[in-house]
Amino acid sequence: MTIRLSLRKRFRKLTANSKGFSSVIGTTFMVLVVMFLSTSVFLWTLSQNTMYNEALRAKNQEEADRRNENVVALSGNYSVNEVTDEVTVNVVLKNAGSVAVQIINLWVLDTDPSNRRYANKSLNLNLNPGNVTNLVEPSPLTVTIPGANANHTFASWFVTARGNTIPLEKEQGVIVARLAQGIGSMALDFYTFRYFKYKVGSGNILENYPNGTISFDIPKNTEVAYGVVLTNLDPKKETIAIDSHSLLWVIIPTSDVAHNRWWYIVNVASDGTISPTYSTISMVYGETKLLVFASENDLASSSFARQSTPNSVCTVPVFLLLHGTIGSTPYGQNLPFVSLYYS
């Protein structure tokens, strides 16, 4: 008896007693309510915090992408058409970063105190990592700035979709100009050397003008013309006039005596038609033009004749011989930087 019996008796008494039943129900109910509410509020708060953390993570990722953007604007220079007030920006864009970049805007500012004006151009350029885009002839970037002059100094920058700006630094032009002083006033865009074939049965009309075929591999024994993109980077900022004696000279290496071929400069209409006569081509400082060399004869003294590439497979050096005037003084320059492979 005793302790066990006593406990059983007390338990029976407790369960048989109806006093405080409502309190038990109330307490149970309250506990359930509190648990339900606290759990639901806790879970909901957790979901809200997850949302915030997700937004924060996305923000950090965007920030990291933004910081990883690294596009460089190389070989930049400006040319100005004073008649139409068009400023052309020639530049090579290289994505040296690790993320793809979309370029949405180009801004060009005329920093000359007499004409502090600016213009922008909407773009949609996508550069994957490692991509290089040549924004030079025949697809340069052109904006219109009223009152722009070739002697003015320009500043420009690109804007990416992530909000970064890519400056095209003024110093770039200075470096090119200094280089130009060493080798001559006219700079050749090495990357855009091209050749043209003639349209079949339609007179002297170049095929696919002005794009041509950008290549250093040329078909042998074929009538072709060559296109070179030149920019006037004369340190004295003089206008250069190119006369008809200018030519593209190819030395054909043979086992015995070297042979030569040459293509004299010609004027070409926008549809690719070669003019039978030649009128001097002038280029103001900073201006970039596509010059075409096609004639076997100097058009100042003879009529136009097509010139063919050599018959044999060979690699040849190319010399661009420019002749004319710079400002009011005579001008002559030899640009020797291209080699071609005829096959």
Collapsed DSSP state (helix, strand, coil) of residue 10: helix
Min separation Cβ 128 and another protein, Å: 20
Amino acid at 131: N
As beta bridge partners, residue 329 has 326
Q: How far is residue 238's CA from residue 259's CA, in Å, rounded to a whole number?
A: 36
Quick check: 329 binds another protein (CB under 8 A)?
no
- Contact predicate 213/240, CB 8 Å: no
Nearest to another protein of 2, 17 (CB atom): 17
Min separation Cβ 2 and another protein, Å: 33
Amino acid at 205: I
Quick check: 29 binds another protein (CB under 8 A)?
yes
Q: How far is residue 96's CA from residue 109's CA, in Å, rounded to a whole number?
A: 25
Name the segment binding another protein (CB under 8 A); options: 69-77, 102-110, 138-146, 201-209: 102-110
Size of the site for another protein (CB under 8 A): 36
CA–centroid distance for 91 within its chain: 6
- Provide Rg for the chain, Cα atoms: 37
Name the segment binding another protein (CB under 8 A); options: 67-75, 112-120, 180-188, 292-300: 112-120
Quick check: 33 binds another protein (CB under 8 A)?
yes
Quick check: 155 binds another protein (CB under 8 A)?
no
Closest CA to 143 of 103, 108, 115, 169: 108
CB atoms within 10 A of CB 23: 9
Nearest to another protein of 105, 131 (CB atom): 105
Q: Which of 163, 253, 327, 332 binds another protein (CB under 8 A)?
A: 163
- Contact predicate 193/252, CB 8 Å: no
Q: Which of 6, 39, 40, 202 binds another protein (CB under 8 A)?
A: 40
For the chain, the farthest-separated pair of C-alpha atoms sits apart, in whole angstroms, at 142
Quick check: 202 binds another protein (CB under 8 A)?
no
Quick check: 161 binds another protein (CB under 8 A)?
yes
Nearest to another protein of 124, 301 (CB atom): 124
What six digits make up the tokens of 81? 């058409």
Q: How far is CA 234 from CA 154, 184, 281, in A?
A: 16, 8, 16
Applying the rule CB under 8 A, the residues between 44 and 63 that interact with another protein are: 44-45, 48, 51-52, 55-56, 58-59, 62
The site for another protein (CB under 8 A) is made up of 18, 21-23, 25-26, 29-30, 33, 37, 40-41, 44-45, 48, 51-52, 55-56, 58-59, 62, 104-105, 107, 109, 116, 118, 120, 122, 159, 161-165
